[in-house]
Each structure stands twice: as C-alpha cells, then as structure tokens.
Structure 1
C-alpha cells in the first residue's frame, strides 16, 4: 500500500491530465520529496489528514523535560522533574506503520473523482452516468462520511461481573473503572485515543437527547479524581444520576486505538434487556468484538443473548455493503482461572470450549484466552502469557478489519471509475467508425447481450435447483443415519458421555431427547453438510465468474480494448469484495448459527406413545431398560421425515444461499448488463457526435488513468 507521503500529488504530473479546475485545486501541492506545508494543503485534504493525525504543524518537534513540565502548570508545579507524571503506556504491539489506515490517500481519490465529475468535459456523459449512479453526489458524500467516521469501535461485552472493567483497565494502561462483584456498568462508556501521551484525561457526558451534560479535564497524575467523577455516571448504584445518560466519551492516551477507533465498554449481557440493546446498536460499526466470561460460573455463558449477537452479525454481513467484524475473529476471554484448582483446569477448559461452540459455533481455540485479569505481578506466568497473546491478536484483528473497511470504499471508487472508463473508451472507439459500421457492431453486441441474459436466467435456475437437490440429499442422509443401528449407537452413546443406560430412569426420556437434539444440531454443522454446501458455493462462484468473464469480453469488444488474458478466469471487483468472499468461503461454518437453538421437527414437544408408556410402567428391571431406550428412541425418530428435515434445512441454509444467488445475479450482474445495454444504445444512436467530442473524451480518459494509478 502506498506510503502517505507518496500520495501527495505532483503538479507536473497532473497538469497534462486534469481540467483547469482540477489543476487549480492541485496547485497547493509540492513535489513528493518536499515536506508538506500545512498551509498549502487544500482544505478538504488537510481535514482528512488531521482526522487521522497525519499532519504536523511545521517541522517535527521533540519536547524537552522543561517544556513538558510547563504543560502541567494548570494543575501542579513540579520542583523535581522525576515527580512529573509519566505518560501512560499499554503493552499492545503497534503496527510497524505510522498508521494502520490509508484514509488520506482514499480521501484524495474522492477529491479527484469529485473534481472530475464536476468538470466541463464530463458534462457530455452526465445523462448516461446518472442512469448508472442516479444519486452519485449523495452516494459519494455518504461513502466519504463512512470512511472518516469516528465511531468505529471495539466492543467489550460479557456476563455481569465477568471482568470487563478489569480488562479495559489493562488495555488502556490505567484504572478507569473500579471492579465490582455485582452489575456495575449502567452506561455505555466510549474510550478514544488522545494521540498525546502527556495530555490530560478528559471526559464528556452526553444525554439521550444528544446534549452535553458535563465536560471536564482531569490533570495528569489525578486518576483517582477522574475515577470518582466517572463512576457517578457509569455505576449501577447511581441510577438516579445515570438514568438519562446515553454515553460517556473518555479521551486519554491509548496508542493501540488507531485511526478513528474507540473502545466501547457495554453493560453486562446478563443485565436488563434495555442495557443489552444499548450494546447491539454499536454492532454495525464494530471492527472487533471481545466477550469476557467467568470460568467459575459454569463456563461463563449463561443465556442465549450471545446467540442473538452472532445472528445479528450475520444479518449485517448479508445486508450491508460495509459489514462489521468477521464473527470468526471474535475474541473470548475466559477470566478468573486462578480460582480453578490446577488438577481441574483441563476439564474446565473442555467445558469452556463446549459452551462457546454452543453459543458461538464459529469460535476457535486460537481466539479463546484463559487468563486471570489481574496485574502482571499478581498473575501466574501461564495466564499472563495468555493475556499478552490476547493483546497481539487484538492488534492483528484491528488492523485487518480497518483495512477491510477501506477496501470496501476503494472498491466502490474503482467500480465507479470503471463505469466511466467503459463509457469514455466506447465513445472513442466508435468515433473512428462510419455510421453503418458502428450500427452493425452495436447490433451484434445487442445480440450478445440477449444471449447472455438467457444464459444468466438458465444459470440462476440451475443453481436454485442444485440448492434444492442438495438439501434433499442431505435430508435423506440424516434420515438414514437416524434409523440405522450404528447411527442410533452414535447418538445415544456419544464419546465423552456416560452410557444412556446408566442414566437414572426418571431422567432417561429427557436425556434421550437431548442427545438426539444435540446430534442433529452438530450434524447440521458437521463435515457431511459442510462438504455438500461447499460444493454448492464453489459452483455459485464458478458460474458467477463465467458470466463476469463474458461481460468483460463484451466490454472489450465495445471499447476496442485488448486486455491480456490470464490463466485464471476473470473475477469481478464484487467477487473480490470481502463481503462476497466472506460469504462464499465461510458460509458453511457460519450459517448453522441461524438455527443454533432450533430443533429439527418437533422433538421439544414430543410425547411418548401410549404403548411406550405401558412399557415403562410394566418394565423397571435393568434388563428391560434397553428395550425401553430403544422404543423411546424409535418413537422420537418417527417424527423425523424427509419433508420436515428438508424444510428445516431450507430455512437454515436454503434461504441464505438463494439470497446469495439473488444478490449476485439479479443485482450485481443485472446492473452491469443494464449499464452496458444503455451504453450500446447511446453509441448506436449518437456515434456521429463523438468525433466532435474526441478532444474532451481523450482528456477525460487521461484524467481517469491518473486517478486509477492511486487505486491500490
């Protein structure tokens, strides 16, 4: 990725490519080798750089101790420099880059594109461009706003009193919150990096009407005073004060919070529904998610709200162009392991992983950390190493997800530039043709488009049929397994559990039901299902790529381009998008979550048949127990049939996969074909005019090429 210094436009490079307005706007820049002078940077570029801390006022300065001491004069005069408060630091590793983000370069592309769209030369293309991007000005404004938004967040969630406050204290390097045994946090607290290690700690309290209630700065070295002030608004015990408060913004030096990212401390999910809803509203802009649990509390996950969180995350990934964090990257901190006896830790670790897989099926051991969130001096070496690993992993995920969001905006810019490029090249190509030659060529392209549309419809129908056939095959597989003797043995006596025959007689019915239920849930997320669904996803990807390749061929024919072909099939910008790639690559692992708490058929409402009830009353000896187990199991399995199982798989997987086909073919490809069709019609009807516009078109193409060089 380009170095921010290398993205500064060079006047000599730009003057041959841009209209007078663009050249005037770029005139404030010097050569890339010359240090940037803030006063000469265009206003909107400077504002974008200031937003991420990349612009310095004049040459870099290094403060000596006397100068630093002067900054504290409002609070205290230090007679000995050794008494001066030291900058707070955290041990989270920082990126080797100055900044994790590339926002200034992308902001520059927005600037140059907006100037191009408002240039006189572009006026001849506005009618056609508006058909492809009806509200392009508003869309550009919206995208730029999202790129520079200041509410990207790392959500800290967890069960009540699991240790969220202690974790935040360690992450930020100072004691902001006072750990308590009961539910303590009642207000959302948002922590931002002040970018200044010697600056005061400040906070701003905002009510539900978005009005500032209180704003205050605390002198360095007076953290105790700050904690007391903060606790008035975030402690559950102070509900009479915090009831009307929406959030508290805290600013202090937290260097790992790069770009516009903030740390969000949320109420415990074991608290009231209202408090949990406060946390949910931050999910759309979350770049990371950390869940803290108490290992001494039966694994640490005691309700189904974690399932609701991942379901909401998956919905956002399906519907939003710029999704929140990848659920596979969620981090789980299992706290208070020092309270577990060393001889019991292995069994407890197995239980923690089992509980997390139940509530967050895409969790993996790499992102689960067993530790104790005490200070480094108090913590055992094993747990302290785990905490250090958590810090490193958080830094990696934060950097990855910030880049993904940037990629989405850059992809949008790339697609818009590609549309303009095809339009300009198409006009330049036909400008050299006679009207008859142009008409014949465009009619040939129209025929190709009709054939492509028919192919797209057939492909879409074939894919939907493939989805249906696959779900039928999977339903048959499950029914056969449930009714086989081997399947029954695997279900009733799975590894790691005692034999069902040893279960107390009065609990046997519930145990059989639970084991059958657990097996069907695990089966839906198991290797057999994943293998089949992966094949479907690969087929969807292959068909999508094939049609994209044909679209590219038609575009090349229309514009006269001779792009080099690679051995790999052409893949569109949309398929390169993390949203699409994420769905195609990870959907088999994610989508089972959508029915994680849902039983196939009606096992939950099962009632034993009269015959089985008679057997239970008649036989109570151990030798008859196996007969009862078999009869009970067979009665339960009778409720499963292919139609019911397929209906469940359809709601779990089929609906999601059909939405994916709909999105790829009816939205993405249909939009591309519609844009090409409009261009063909205009080229066919206005080819004689293009010779008069040749100079303007060549100028636009040169401008486009220069902007596209800045796309990474």
Structure 2
C-alpha cells in the first residue's frame, strides 16, 4: 500500500470480528502476535450501541490486557490507542462531548494505564473530506507514528541489550575456557617433562649398568677370592684341616686332607659369599639402580658341592708329588704338613677365582637380570605414558585453536555491535 507510515517493513494486522464466539481461533492468533507488536489500536464503533459494550469489547480488551503481562518486549500498555470511529454519527456537540467523557471513563476503568491523549476521535469515511475530520485523522497518524517510533527504538534497545549481554557472557565463557585450555596444556607439558626426566634417568641407569656391572662383578669375584685365599692360608684353617687326621695312615693322608679342604671351601663360600656381596657390593649396585626405585633382593646363595676335579683342574695330583710321600713315611707330622702344603699350592688366586666365579657370577647375574627386566618394564611403561600425554596435548591444542577462533569471531561481533549501538545512540 502506498501509505508512508506503513513503509519500511511495517505490517498491519487486521482481525475483524474477534469478539464473535465463532472467531476464537482468530482471537488466539491475535493474542499470540501481540508480543511482536509495536502498536495496538482498538477501533471502537461509536455508532454501535454506544461504543464500549460490556459483553463484547470489554471482554476483548481485558483479554488483551492480561495477555500483555510479561510477554510484551517492546510495548507498554500505556501506549495502546483507542480510536472512536464513526464520530461523525454523533451530530449534537453537547451529546458529542458527554459521550466522549463517558467513553474515556469506561476505558480508564477497563484499561488503567490508558493515556487520555491515546483516546482519539476519527471518522474514516470523512477523514479526507472535511477539515474537522482531516484534523482528527492527522492527530491519529501523528500519535500512531510517535508510538511506533518509540516502541521501535525500544525494540532496538531490547535487542541491543540482549546482544550485549549475550556477547559479554560468551566473551567471558570463551576467555575462561581458553585460559583453562592453556592451563591444561601447561599442566600436560609439566607432566611430560616429569615423565621425560624419569625416562631419561632410567635409560641412563640402564646404559651405565650395562657398562659398569661386569666390572663390578669381576671386582666382587676378586674380593671373594682374596678373602678365601687368606682364609685357607691361616693357622686356624690348617689346624681345622688337621683335626681328626691322627689315626689316618700316611699313605692316605693326602686324600683325607683333600676332602677336608674341599668341604671347608664349600662351607666357607656358603657362609661368606652372601655376606661379602651385601657388605661390599650391594650398595654399589643399589646406587646404579637408585633412579628406578627398584628394591634389590638377594636370595640365599648355597651350593651343595665344589666343582669336580675334572671340571676345574684344581685338585689334580701330580704322580711325582704322591711319590714324594713315600720318601718320608717315617715322620707322620712332616708327611701331613707336606700333603697339606701340596694341596694349598693347587689353590692359587687365579684358580680360586675360577672356582668361585661359577657360583658367584651366576647368582649376581640372575639378580642383575631381574633388575634390568624391571628397569626395562618401567622404561616401556614411561614411554607409553609419554605417548598418552602427547595425545592429550594434541587434543587440548585442537580445543585451544577452536576456542581462539571462537574468541576472534566474538571479538568481530563485538566490534560490529559497538558500531550498531553507536548508530542508534547518536
């Protein structure tokens, strides 16, 4: 329609007959549309039984008034217009004024917020024909334009306030989430650093153990050998070996002493190797594995018998040595002493080291192997943990990038909002 006041995307909603009982659906749709309205205009036909009818218009007005409560975003009840149409049907001036005052009173009773300036006279048929009605129509247009402009600006203000609140809220949320993501990434980096430090410690311990432990084992065997060598060369050892040999014949004394020495060496190893390892070497090995937190356990080490002569070559008797005993059969003590010394000559430090290495090396290597397996298991576990941490970091980084992008979009929206807000506040 070529009407200036309804140009610019303005829509007029006409609902004829909403007072009829058979027009309930029309009435319901009108009520639902009210929350979108910039202006509400009641057209009252003053030629129809006095205008404001209690059984019809009053019911509509009350229903409309109740529907506005809490639902109108940009329209206030005081902005409602009441147009008394067909005013030309009241010809008597005195009756005209009395009727107008009576109608205002009724409307103010029904619609408490009504503004007297919004109760207007009009004659739609004669609005463009007679000056008096032209003035009425001009007054109606001006008042309607004021209401529309006021509520249009109010609608903009409501939407701007909503957008402002929305943008502020989500700016805070995005900033908080971004800070949380950055903090989470920092925590993940710290966790990774700790895992890498522990992993590096264990790998260094493993490398150092591979390098140093063979030397420690060799040194341990040397210490055991030195202790055993000193033991078999003491007077107490010789007395112990001679004990109970008085009744043995000179011809068999060397065999008996050989048996005594073998047994004593076995007993000494069972009684002392563990103690030597614990007192002299276990702390060195523990130091190598200190980064792993692995507890070093040394089981009881025992051996049932010395290696056989055929295995070691230590106890073989030269036939010429045996023959020497026949030369001095007359002196038993001298014969026994010579047999003992001949036995001891077979146990040099080198031979003793070969003897103790079979048991000592196996036991230590078994323990070290257990420790190395435990250490490798911990290294593998730490590597898996590092992979998990890296995956967590990747996911967190994806989230951070998304939040940064969202924050930039919200920032651009804020800039646009400020521009729009300045346009409407100027």
Which category of TM-score, normalised to the shorter sequence, fits these structures? 0.3 to 0.5
* TM-score, scaled to structure 2: 0.41
**Which is bigger in relative contact order (C-alpha 8 A, separation at least 6)?**
2
Greater per-residue strand proportion:
1
